[in-house]
Structure formats: C-alpha cells, structure tokens
Amino acid sequence: MKRRHFLKGVAGASLAAPFLSSLAPRAARAADTATGPQRLVIFYTNNGCITNRWFPAVENGAIDAAALTGKTLAPLSDLAHKLLFPRGLAMFPRGTINGYFDPHDQGMGSKLTGAPIDPAGSHWATGPSLDHTVAAMVNPGSTPESRSPPLVLSVGNAFANVKGIISYKAAQTPFSPETNPKNVYSKLTGLFTGGGTAADYMVTQGNSILDCVRGDLQTLQGMNMSAADKQSLNAWMALLRDTEKTVVSAACTAANATALGVDATTVNGATARDTATAFTKGGDMMINLIALTMMCDANRVMILQWPGFVKFTWDGMNHEFDHHGLSHRNGSAAVGGACVTGVIDMLHQIDTWYAGRYSKLVHLIDSIKEGDRTMLDNSMVMWLPELADGNAHNNNNLPIVIAGSGGGYLKQGQSINLDTRELKTGNSEASCVTGTDIGFGTGTNTGNVPLNKLHVTLMNALGRRLPGWTPVTTFRTMDTNDVAKGITNPGELGALLAT
C-alpha cells in the first residue's frame, strides 16, 4: 500500500486513510519515512494576554506539570514534557518604521513576514510570510509551483484588511483565510462539490459518510495489519465521524438550514453563523479539520487564527466589551482612562478559553498514532500572539509555546531564556492597581531576541530531510528597527535544538 491509501468516496472523491505501515511493501519504504512528514501548525491570537499568568513558573530550565499549575496553560499539564517555551523573543521591525506606527497593523503584518508594512495605502506587509515560504518547500509536490499554499483558517468573519490578515503570499499580496469549515472539508472529500449521486443524497439526508463507503472500509479492515495500524485506522474513522457530525449533520441538514435562515437551494453553500457558534462549534470543527488534513497529508503548513475584535458571550462569559477594548483595559479603542471593573479577570477568562482550544488541538494531534510516534511528535504546533500585553501594545518578551519537536529537532519539556538577562513575566496586572495607569509604555523592556531567528529554526526543522537541503541562516531582510542594517544576528536558535 502506498503512503496514502485512498478509499472510494462520495461523488467519486476519495477519503485518505492514515498510513498503515504493516501493509506497505518494505522495498518501497525509504529509511527515514517511518517518523512521517514534519508539519507546522500556528495557533494565532490577537490582543496579547495577561502575561504574568500565561508564562510557566520556570523561566529557564526543565518544566513539568507543577510549572503550569495555576497558570493559563494548566490544561496542558499532562503534556508538559512535550512543550517548549522559547523565552525572550521579540518581533522586528516594530515601533515607528518608515514614518508609520500602528502596533496592531504591525503585529499582524510583520509577525510572520519579518518585513515592514507599507506606510501608505492599505498597510500591507512588504514581504511573503513564513507559512508560504515553508509550504513551497515541504508540501506534497515535485516543484514549488506545484505545491499547495498553506492552509490558513479563521473562525467567524475575518477582517479583509491589515488587522485581519496574518498570511502573505508575496509582498503586498495578502492571503485571506478560509472561514467556512465546509469548504475545507469539501477539498478533502469532494463531498460538497455537486454531482448529484445517490451517495451525495444519502449524506444530505443525514446518513454517515462512513456508511456510504462501508464496503470499502470492511475490505480494508479485513486486511492483515498490525495492531498499531488497526488502532490508527480506528482513530482516523473516529475523527472523520466526529468531523462529519458537525460539518454534514449540523451544517447541511434541512433542519439546520431552516434554523439558520438558509433555504433548500443554498444548503450546500456558505453557512451563516453567529460569533458564539463560530468560535465554539466552528472553532472546534476547524481543529478537527486540521487534524484530518494532517492525517490525509493534504497540507503540512497550517494556521488557525482567531479574530481579535470579538465580544465573548459564551461558555460562562458574558462580557459587555469586546476583547480589543478589554485589552486596552478601558473597554474601548482609546488609550488611557479608567480600568473597567474586573477587566483583568475577564482577560484571563479569554486567555483560559483560548488555552482550552489550543489544548484541544494539541491533545487531538497527540492522540493520533503515526508509526511508533504520534502526529504531535512529528509536528510543531505553536501558539503565536499578535502582542505580548494588549495594554502596553508591546512585541517583546512574547508569550510563545511550541508543542511537539518536529520529529526530534527541538527540545521538549523546557523553558529556555534566550536573552542575556532575567526576563520576568511583564506588568499585565499592574496597570489597573490605581485604576488610571493605562496605556503604551507600561510593559517591561526585557526579551529582545529577534523572532526572525525562531523562523529560521522552524524552517530548518521542516526542511532538513529535503534532498540537497542547505540549512538557512536568515529570514527576510532585517532583524532590528533599522531598515538599513539588514540582518545583524543570523543563524538559528541553537539553544532550542535537541542534542
């Protein structure tokens, strides 16, 4: 059986089964493919966080469950041994560049591009982003031109301007995220592309996709395979079942179409959803689809971004102000003024909610076997923020965590101070002690190692097994606020590498 074994699918499409190593002809296997492909998944959130509750208790050294106890990332305590906290990183360029300053525009436009944003017009970034660079390297295909772009997802309605775009195909060329889970699913299965077959009709009437291909599945299950491969197949089937329940049964039935105000002719079109549903059911669905995409090896570079100008009114939260306004501490887009009563706890609620979604993504990927490892072991799942603290609007001492080692390239179970001095955890809670001390400049000045160096490290982790690979030492053209200086600190972050 080849690397991807395709089952006969609905409407002539295919459902890609996981790699079943015990069924693969031994002569066809390369010596280094047992670990599976390396992948990068970026979990991107806006408006910073309450940093002193987010960072682990250990600034530099080994971490365990105790280091996350009482912290925002406590849901990942059981996987502390698979986490890496690269401490002390800062995004460059930042501040006033080419005569322009907007921390939100720059946090979005420069975070993955390492390039300034255009001070005029739409303020688009002036270089391609990391996700497109590595997708052209590692996605399936024989040439960069034949390889798919990264899978960039967002829940709800992402802004179509610089404040809503994190991915850039090229300079001045924003890459809009996909917001409809059904569109992602249709690319994997062909389920919603039309054709009018009997199987399609069965699915739209609420029947299971697995039921439609039961004969093929029984044939596959009847093959002589190892216990590990049987477990992988069962995990894949369970994930697909869970995915289709939301995408097919919840999004494409006549009852839900009526509830959503969609008539019979548009049931297979775009699904209208309120923000709460988009963030909860829709967000969980995007997480399932990321895992399914990985299992199908349809894309090895993925982003899940969460819009920042959202009012949290679900899962026990009933906030009066949106996340952006709360991050300013005053409930509005203005800078300064009095703190909203209870604002720190409300922001921690949001941080904790995001940590739950990140934990779900990481645990799901870690639950799927891939050879003698899990998919998480072969991947790097990174939580990357727009800002460190939303009140200070700072982009230094960034709160970043990476789950998975990229197939053994990165250290795990470590918090590593990459700077030359003590970092601490920021001043996120100090701003509202007096009720008036709010705004820019309230953050600390620690942690200024160029984020570009982390991008270089990730590129080498993903590319190291490519034929003829030459390790990269730079990413983009500058790693300070001085555009003319160029790259002043080349190389990857050696302290993060596994020995």
Classify 80 as helix, strand or coil: helix
pLDDT classification of 351: cutoffs 50, 70, 90: very high
The per-residue pLDDT for range 404-434, each reduced to its tens digit, is 999 999 999 999 999 989 999 998 988 787 6
> Is 312's pLDDT higher than 50?
yes
Centroid of chain to Cα 481: 27
Per-residue confidence (pLDDT) for residue 237, from 0 to 100:
67
CA distances from 4 to 16, 129, 289, 331, 371 (A): 6, 29, 17, 50, 14
Q: Where are the domains of the chain?
A: 35-180+271-496
Q: Alpha-carbon dihedral of residues 120, 112, 160, 389, nearest 10 degrees? A: -90
| pLDDT of 258 strictly over 70 | no
Is residue 85 within 8 Å of 63, Cβ to Cβ?
yes
Between 3-17, 126-140, 203-217, 485-499, the lowest mean confidence (pLDDT) is in 3-17
CB 428 within 8 A of CB 71: no
| Average pLDDT for 63-72 | 97
79: helix, strand or coil: helix
Least confident window among 165-179, 303-317, 340-354, 417-431: 417-431
CA-wise closest residue to 81 among 354, 369, 411, 495: 411
Q: Which CATH class is domain 35-180+271-496?
A: alpha beta
Main-chain dihedrals φ then ψ at residue 403, nearest 5 degrees = -100, 135
CA-atom Rg of the chain in angstroms: 23
Q: What element of type H or E holds 7?
A: strand 5-8
Q: Looking at the DSSP assignment, which residues form a beta bridge with residue 117?
A: 125
* Residue 252: pLDDT over 60: no
Taking residues 343-354, what's their average pLDDT? Answer: 97
The band of 183, judged by pLDDT with boundaries at 50, 70 and 90, is: confident
Residues 6+ apart with CB under 8 A from 376: 82, 362, 365, 366, 403, 404
Phi and psi dihedrals of 465, rounded to 5?
-100, 0
Q: Are 427 and 392 in contact (CB under 8 A)?
A: yes
Q: What is the pLDDT of residue 142?
A: 81
Q: For residue 316, what are its two tokens?
A: 């026990």
Contact between residue 18 and residue 1 where contact means Cβ atoms under 8 Å apart? no
pLDDT at 327 over 60: yes
Which tokens go with 356?
Answer: 């739950």
Helix (H) or strand (E) holding 39: strand 39-45
pLDDT at 255 over 50: no
- The share of the chain scoring above pLDDT 70, in percent, equals 75
Give 106-119 pLDDT, tens digit per residue: 999 999 999 999 99
- Tell me what pLDDT residue 440 has: 72
Averaged pLDDT score across all residues of the chain: 81
Q: Residue 45: what are its φ and ψ, rounded to 5°?
A: -125, 155
Q: How many whole angstroms separate alpha carbon 6 and alpha carbon 431?
A: 56
Please indicate whether residue 250 or residue 411 has the higher confidence score (pLDDT): 411
In the chain, the largest separation of any two C-alpha atoms, in whole Å, equals: 71
Alpha-carbon distances of 171 from 35, 123, 163, 456, rounded to whole Å:
35, 11, 16, 19
**Residue 321 binned pLDDT confidence (cut-offs 50, 70, 90):** very high
Query: What is d(CA 212, CA 203) in angstroms, rounded to the nearest whole number?
Result: 8
> Residues, the chain, total?
499
Confidence at 12, pLDDT banded by 50, 70, 90: very low
Most confident of 147-161, 265-279, 404-418, 477-491: 404-418
| pLDDT above 90 as % of the chain | 55
Higher pLDDT, 32 or 326: 326
What the block records as the tokens of 22 is 């015990």
pLDDT tens, residue by residue, 433-461: 765 556 676 667 899 999 999 999 999 99
Q: Using 50, 70 and 90 to split pLDDT, how confident is the model at 200? A: very low
Tracing tokens 């993903």 back to the chain, one arrives at 462
* E strands present in 400-473: 401-403, 414-417, 449-450
What pLDDT is attached to residue 239? Answer: 59
Residue 74 has pLDDT above 70, yes or no: yes
Rounded to whole angstroms, the Cα distance separating 285 from 291 reads 10
Cis omega (within 30 of 0) for bond into 149: no
Q: Which residue has the higher pLDDT, 455 or 182?
A: 455
Amino acid letter at 362? V
DSSP secondary structure code for residue 279 in this structure: I
Among residues 418, 440, 423, the alpha carbon closest in space to that of 431 is found at 440
DSSP 207-272: --HHHHTHHHHHHHHTS---HHHHHHHHHHHHHHHHHHIIIIIITSSHHHHHHTT--GGGTTSPPP
- Cβ-contact 305, 152 below 8 angstroms: yes
pLDDT (average), residues 288-308: 88
Select the more confidently predicted residue: 81 or 240. Answer: 81
Torsion of CA 204, 209, 212, 213, to 10 degrees: 160
Task: For residue 433, give every residue at least 6 positions away whose Cβ sits within 8 Å of its Cβ, in sequence order, or none.
Answer: none
pLDDT tier, 217 (very low <50, low <70, confident <90, very high otherwise): low
Judged against a pLDDT cut of 90, whether residue 28 lies above it is answered with no
Choice between 16 and 58, residue whose per-residue pLDDT is larger: 58
Alpha helices in 337-400 (DSSP H): 343-366
| Closest residue by Cα to residue 95 from 77, 87, 86, 107 | 107
Backbone angles phi, psi at 278, to 5 degrees: -60, -40
Q: What is the structure's pLDDT at 132?
A: 98
